[in-house]
Structures are given as structure tokens and as C-alpha cells.
Amino acid sequence: MTEVTSGATAGQGPAVEGELPAGARRIWVAMGVLVCLDFLLGIGAIAEVPFGRATEWLPAKGRGLYVPHAIVGAALGLGAVYLLARYGRSTHRIARLAARWGIAGIAVGVVGGLLAVVHPLRLAGMGLMLVGGLAAAIGYFMPSLEAHDRKERAALQERLDAEAAEGPYG
């Protein structure tokens, strides 16, 4: 696998036990940013596309935001499948959890998107897209947050070890 268990990560200083390499963390951040972008496009689509429109796959008004929202959503779906295939059985617990949590959120969002096409189910679909997007964002930012937490804990431990070595009277 591509996991680092000791040594240094390029440009990141000493690696912490079990930490993902910087390159692997970048894809998680990219997916989280794409989820946020898709969320913003979805909010824009809500403002532009008439809510009371008939059941239709491609609305006449608001295509400028509706179509990019769908394209970014499709890209997220492909990315989620890739991450699940790549990290779904990883020995790195956070990567495995993030891949599974992320694809679950994307799947809920996809179901919501399909429901939002049908007029009577539109509000429920929009709610599912919101919940799915939030879950996916949490999942995809999880490895970065965990890496930050590891570094903070390591720095704290170094300070505590240095203070203990100085003794009670400095």
C-alpha cells in the first residue's frame, strides 16, 4: 500500500505513525472541495431553476447552474468509486472509513438528485442531496482532520517530554 509508517513524508517533516502520505491526503481534500463546490452550485440551481416546474430531466430555465451541478455530481460519483476501490479495504482505518463514509454520502445525494427531478418528490430529493453532501464532506475531510490531530498530539507530547526532562524546577 502507499501508507507511511516511519521516516519522512516529502516536504512534510517527520511522518507520524500510520499517517497517509501527502499525495494521498490531497485527493481527500480535492474531493471535499468538490463536494463544497457542488453544494454551492446546488444552492445556485435552487435560486435559478423554478421549484414548481413540471417533472423534467433538464429544466428550460437555470441550465447554467443545473448542468454544472449535475456534472460535478457525476465527477464526485466517479471519484467516490475510485476512493472506495483504492482505500475501501485499506489497513489505514481513517482512509477506509473516509472512503466508505464518502461514497455513502454521495449515494444518498444521487438518490436525492434523482428524486428532485420528479415534481412531487422534489423537496425530499433536495433534502437528501443536502444530507448526502454534508456526510460526504465530513467523510472526505476526515483524513486531513485526523492528520492535523496527529501532528498536534505529537507536538504536545514533545513539549510534555521536554518539560519532564527539565525536571520540576526547570
Q: What is the mean pLDDT of the chain?
A: 81
Tell me which of 27-31, 36-40, 119-123, 143-147 is least confident.
143-147
What is the band of 19 on the pLDDT scale with cuts at 50, 70, 90? low
48 has a pLDDT exceeding 90: no
Does residue 131 sit in helix, strand or coil?
helix
Check: CB of residue 125 under 8 Å from CB of residue 137: no
Q: What's the rounded mean pLDDT across residues 28-41?
A: 92
In a domain, 24, yes or no: no
Tell me which of 10-19, 65-74, 154-163 is least confident.
10-19
pLDDT value at residue 20 = 66
Burial of 166 (0-12, 13-18, 19+ CB in 10 A): exposed
CA distance 149 to 70: 34
CA distance 123 to 115: 9
In a domain, 3, yes or no: no
Strand partners, 13: 9
Check the CA dihedral 93-135-76-128 and report its sign.
Answer: positive
pTM reported for the whole predicted model: 0.73
Domain that holds residue 107: 59-143
In a domain, 98, yes or no: yes
Helix axes 93-117, 122-166, angle to 10 degrees: 160
Torsions phi, psi of 49, nearest 5?
-85, 125
In a domain, 38, yes or no: no
pLDDT value at residue 89 = 85
In a domain, 12, yes or no: no
165 has a pLDDT exceeding 90: no
pLDDT value at residue 38 = 94
In a domain, 79, yes or no: yes
In a domain, 135, yes or no: yes
CA distance 110 to 31: 16
CA distance 77 to 150: 29
16 has a pLDDT exceeding 60: no
Tell me which of 4-18, 75-89, 134-148 is least confident.
4-18
Domain count, the chain: 1
Check: CB of residue 29 under 8 Å from CB of residue 141: yes
pLDDT value at residue 79 = 94
pLDDT digits (tens, 9 = 90+) for 77-131: 999 999 999 888 887 888 889 999 999 999 999 999 999 888 899 899 999 999 9
How many residues are there in the chain? 170
In a domain, 36, yes or no: no
